[in-house]
Chains A and B, each alone.
Chain A
Amino acid sequence: MTTPRLRTQVATHLSLVLITIAVLYPVLWVLKMALSPGQAFSLDLNPIPSTVTLEHFEAVLTTATMDGDWLFGRQLMNSLIVALATSAVGIALATSAGYAMSRWGFPGRDAGMRIFLITQMFPGVVMAIPLYILLDELGMLDSLMGLSVVYATTAIPFCTWNMKGYFDTIPVELEEAARMDGADRWTTFWYIVLPLARPALVVTGLFSFMTAWNEFILAATFMNDETSFTLPVVLQSYVGDYGTEWGHFAAGAVIVSAPVMILFFALQRHLVEGLTSGSVKG
């Protein structure tokens, strides 16, 4: 493929830059509110702050409990634990299910795939209270583990589909060769298939991570104490009954989004390769 004329190149870059600006404009606004003094929502057109202050970040980062413990640190830990546990559970369950669905035509597979897809259609509004009762019966209320399991389950259908799609693209011949050499199913899966599926594992992990990292309604309902809240719940608590502390809210939003952005940045190559959600066969 040849390089097009300069005019086309410039036009392409120009339109990409314009689109990028349109994409970044709202993001810059969040930054502006986070860096400007006061709690007002900025309706200005200029997304560059006129005075820069770190007061909101300081206020959000240094919250303390009644006993003087560093509350934000606790909540950050909670968020990390929940998000990482969700990723771990999500990857483990989705990978094994996705692999089985990709490789073996067992009875009920197609129905299972369908049901997984269908569960994506359950509207969340009706589920909070039944879930609360269920977790209570299981003794998993107000525990980070309970929360992680719930999150992982909501992420499983997408992750399973995605993993299955990726496994479909890995030639079976490799496994057959290993099986000939006497490796059992588990060994083949663990040593041959999984390393090849790394991009899809990254996507599955990232997706589960984000599900847990951004959710606040279930977290606020299931967790009892401020010290067991996750960051999105804290973020939400800046939105009040009547007024919102926009400065704190925006600073919190930046803090919550930053790790995901970094992950995206670090994993972008895998992201492109691993997001198949049911991809090309053969």
Chain B
Amino acid sequence: MPWLLLLILALFGGTSHAQELTLWHAYRGSERATLESLLEAYSAEENGITVRARAIPYDGFNTKLEAAGPRGHGPDLFIAAHERLGSWVQQDLIRPNPEALSGVSETVEQALFHDGQHYGTPLAFKTLALFTNRALIDTPPTTTNALRDLAKTERDAGRVGLAYQATEPFFHAPWMNGFGGALQKEDGFALDRPGAVAALEFLVDLQSDNLLVEEPTAVLVTQLFNEGQAGMVINGPWFLGEVDPSIDLGVSPLPVISETGEAAQPYLTVEALQVSAQTAHPEAAWRLAQWLSAEPAALKRAVEGRQSVATLSVYNHPSVAGDPVLMAFQAQQASALPMPTDDRMAASWEPLARAIRRVSRGAHSPSVALAAAQTEFEVVTAPPPKPTNPTPYLVAAIALVLAGLVFIARRAWSARAAIREHAYAYAWVGPAAISMLALVVLPFTVGAAVSLFAHDNGQWTFVGLTHFWDILLARDWPITSALSFWFTLVVTVGWTLANVVAHVAIGMALAMVLRSPWLKLKGVYRVLLILPWAIPNYITALIWKGMFHRQFGAINALLDAVGIEPISWFSQFSTAFAANLITNTWLGFPFMMVVTLGALAAIPRDLEAAASLDGASGWQQFRHVTWPLLKPALLPAIILGSIWTFNMFNIIYLVSAGEPDGGTEILISEAYRWAFTRGHRYGYASAYAVLIFGVLVMYSKGTDKWLSRRAA
């Protein structure tokens, strides 16, 4: 076997050349085309250096970077937004600049500054601005009062006053910062500053004047603008690619806040080229970085790639100075606030989003909601627990392993005759067992061991079982809070139960109908009904999310047609849960249908026919003849299905995203949030994963009874 592996490796394995720089980026479209043609030009110009650009999907970029970098498989350079700078520095993934930055604005320079040093050369920046449809809006407003008046006129004309993702912290930030509520100031991080309260009151005013759109998703904002139903939109440069080319588009800086006289301050993210810490060619990498940010290349990126480049001199060039869009973003940059690089920033989004949504639903006043957000933020960003002495744990672990080995050895010894007799059987099971051990059990054990450590800004400390106590004793939250493990466990169990019942009921009902001998077109129905199973679920989940929209979704339109009031699906627990359930049922019933069809095929029809002759009704036949025969075949499928549903991350994450207030989150999506959106608390997340595992093992213990009953 090993020689075969080697042969295949030789066939498929990657190769690498010397004198080559690898560059990772997540650019798409014209930005990408421009970058690639620039790199080609550079490779031609610089003798002996080839630059390999690798486009990595945005979704996997950071995981890949953090996995590959420390193992020596990272790129020489990479392009990424600056807000993760802090965590890269801590993980030792990037190098500080050998020389000072020049020719860029102070805001941009500030963005790349971390712990006394600059990191990376800035290529472009992204910030929010005001987009207008000039056929509807003559002059863009310069103050929020003017904005409000204009929005009222628009509203009275039957359009949406102002379309933007009002409930997303990133889009709310311009107001928050402009009202003086910025998260990070000299005195540290705070979510509940008076300015932040005032900004939320401003939002409430906009809403109560009916100037905003309900449940404003990115998709909806684009659609409203493209269809001429909204004249003003707050969005970023990525919006340019989505605007219908027939619209007379204007871009201008966001207005000044009338109450404070300060400009609205959106966040500024800088896309910088970082030289990786592990590169073998730091000088060559740095030369390339400078070349890409210098004027000639920057000009090309601005003109051809439509990038808001960071290089200031480009804006004096006639082909850029005459471009109203690029100039508007450049003007907006002056009042923008560089996104803080502090790791705590990442942990602020979720509590803040929750506060904004609570206020927008009218569930809480701004000050109450923000006070709650502040408490939540403090718990999530609490300093890691005190280090624990690992020795007792090590001793216990060794003792456990030894005891386990002794146990297995004794069992094996007492069964030695049977083992010898069945020696051949192990050869048949061996390959599957070994690959499972190596590729599933081992990685999980390593991942589970992480739960004994606390991760904070790239630093790991051994904390023993602290995470488990914190989670199980609900030390950080009241047990009834949506963030507590027990609350989520109850939701998860309910979720699994509801799904399995729905999948089995629908799947079985359809299978029974499809089995009727007189039914025509059976094959057609069967194929069409299995379709949901064939399409990757992350695609259909997104479609369903759109169908549940309060104002524009297909489902409310349908309800409206039969005279039911439209439902705001994601603002109450029950309906949000139902939305998840409907989506997952749509995805899950085909499996159960097929399993039932298969099992039914094995049931002799004479039995039912006999029952029917004896005068049994359809239901009685099913209850007393069909079901008892089906049950043993369905049980394993039900057990597997329930385990899959228990960990069905995609649906929760993509459909309800935990709304409202994290209530519909299940354990696996909570684990994900702890790992990736709550300040990278990997240890805590891993403890969640271990607990999920524990719950499922207990469940499978319980199911043993059913299974053994059927074997008897």
- B-contacting residues of A (Cβ < 8 Å)? 1, 3-4, 9, 12-13, 16, 19-20, 22-27, 29-30, 38-43, 45, 66, 92-94, 96-97, 99-101, 104-107, 109, 112, 114-134, 136, 139-145, 149-150, 152-154, 156-158, 160-161, 165, 169, 185, 210, 214, 216-217, 220-221, 224-226, 228, 232-233, 235-243, 245-246, 249-250, 253, 256-257, 260-261, 264-265, 268, 271-281
CB of B422 within 8 Å of the partner chain:
yes
From the candidates A124, A243, A277, name the one contacting B637 in the complex (CB within 8 A): A277
In the complex, the answer to whether A121 meets B602 with C-beta atoms within 8 Å is no
Asked whether, in the complex, the Cβ of A236 is within 8 Å of the Cβ of B586, the reply is: no
Of the listed residues B36, B220, B412, B444, the one surrounded by the most CB atoms of chain A closer than 10 A to its CB is: B444
Q: Which residue of B lies closest to A46 (CB)?
A: B554
Residue numbers of B with Cβ under 8 A of A are: 5, 8-9, 12-14, 26, 28-29, 36, 39-40, 52-60, 63-64, 66-68, 71, 73, 81, 126, 218-220, 222-223, 226, 236, 238-239, 241-242, 244, 411-412, 415, 418-419, 422, 424-426, 428-429, 431-433, 435-436, 438-444, 446-448, 450, 510, 513, 516-521, 523, 525-536, 539-540, 543-544, 546-547, 549, 552-554, 557, 586, 594-595, 597-599, 601-602, 605, 608-609, 612, 629, 632-633, 635-637, 639-640, 643-644, 646-647, 649, 668, 671-672, 675, 685-686, 689, 692-693, 696-697, 700, 711
Give the CA-CA distance A17 to B16 in the complex, in Å. 56
With contacts A1-B609, A237-B28 taken as known, whether A128 is within 8 angstroms of B633 at the C-beta atoms is no
A21 to B689, CA, bound (A): 38
A107 in contact with B412 given A242-B238, A275-B594 (CB within 8 Å): yes
Residue A123 contacts which of B236, B547, B647 (CB distance < 8 angstroms)?
B647
The answer to whether B700 touches A278, judged by C-beta atoms less than 8 angstroms apart, is: no
Contact between B432 and A96, CB atoms less than 8 A apart: yes
Given contacts A24-B531, A121-B696, A236-B57, contact A253 B73 (CB under 8 A): no
Contacts of A224 in B (CB 8 A): 14, 54, 68, 73
User: In the bound complex, what is the Cα–Cα distance between A241 and B415 (angstroms)?
Assistant: 58
Q: Are B73 and A278 in contact (CB under 8 A)?
A: no
Is B525 a contact partner of A16 (Cβ separation < 8 A)? yes
B544 touches A26 (CB 8 A): yes
Partner pick for B429 among A27, A97, A271, CB 8 A cutoff = A97
29 contacts between A and B (CB under 8 A): A4-B518, A20-B529, A23-B531, A26-B586, A30-B535, A96-B431, A107-B411, A107-B412, A107-B422, A114-B700, A118-B700, A121-B643, A122-B693, A125-B649, A126-B686, A129-B447, A130-B444, A130-B446, A140-B9, A152-B435, A161-B636, A224-B68, A233-B60, A237-B57, A242-B238, A243-B218, A253-B536, A264-B533, A265-B527
Knowing A12-B516, A169-B602 touch, does A40 contact B700 (C-beta < 8 A)? no
Taking a contact as CB atoms under 8 Å apart, the answer to whether A149 and B435 are in contact is yes
A220-B57, A268-B530 are known contacts. Are A43 and B553 too (CB-CB below 8 A)? yes
A-B interface pairs (CB < 8 A), number: 359
B443–A127 CB distance below 8 A: yes
With both chains docked as a complex, state the minimum distance between the C-beta of B17 and any C-beta of chain A, in angstroms: 13
- A30-B633 contact, Cβ under 8 Å, with A117-B639, A123-B668, A217-B60: no
For A221, list chain B residues within 8 Å (CB): 60, 63-64, 67
Q: How far is the CB of A239 from chain B (nearest CB, A)?
A: 6
CB–CB B609/A165 < 8 A: no
A152 to B438, CA, bound (A): 12
> Beyond A96-B432, A257-B536, A268-B527, is A122–B440 a contact (Cβ under 8 Å)?
yes
CB pair B528–A24 under 8 Å, yes or no, is yes
What's the nearest-Cβ distance from chain A to residue B535, in Å? Answer: 5
Max chain A Cβ within 10 angstroms of own Cβ: one of B126, B446, B672: B446
Provide the residues of chain A in CB contact with B529, threshold 8 Å. Answer: 19-20, 23
Expressed in whole angstroms, the Cα–Cα distance for A236 and B55 within the complex equals: 12
A180 to B179, CA, bound (A): 89
Knowing A112-B433, A121-B692 touch, does A128 contact B67 (C-beta < 8 A)?
yes
Give Cα A119 to B696, complex, Å. 10
Report yes or no: B527 in contact with A264, Cβ–Cβ below 8 A. yes
Inside 8 A of A12's CB, which chain B residues have their CB? 513, 516, 519
Expressed in whole angstroms, the minimum distance between the Cβ of B683 and any Cβ of chain A is 10
Among A9, A145, A154, chain B packs the most CB atoms within 10 A around the CB of A145
Known contacts: A23-B532, A118-B697, A143-B9. The answer to whether A123 contacts B692 by CB under 8 A is: yes
Q: Residues of B contacting A278 with CB < 8 Å?
A: 633, 635-637
Report Cα–Cα, A39/B39, bound state, in Å. 28
Report, nearest first, the 4 A-B pairs whose CB atoms are least far apart: A278-B636, A126-B447, A220-B60, A106-B422
Once the chains are docked, how many angstroms separate the CA of A225 from the CA of B525?
42
Give the shortest distance, in Å, between A177 (CB) and chain B (any CB).
20
CA distance A124 to B439 in the complex (A): 12
Would A161 and B640 count as touching, CB distance under 8 A? yes
| Residues of B close to A117: CB separation below 8 A | 639-640, 643, 700
Q: Are B609 and A133 in contact (CB under 8 A)?
A: no
Q: Which residue, B412, B439, B547, B689, has most C-beta atoms of chain A within 10 A?
A: B439
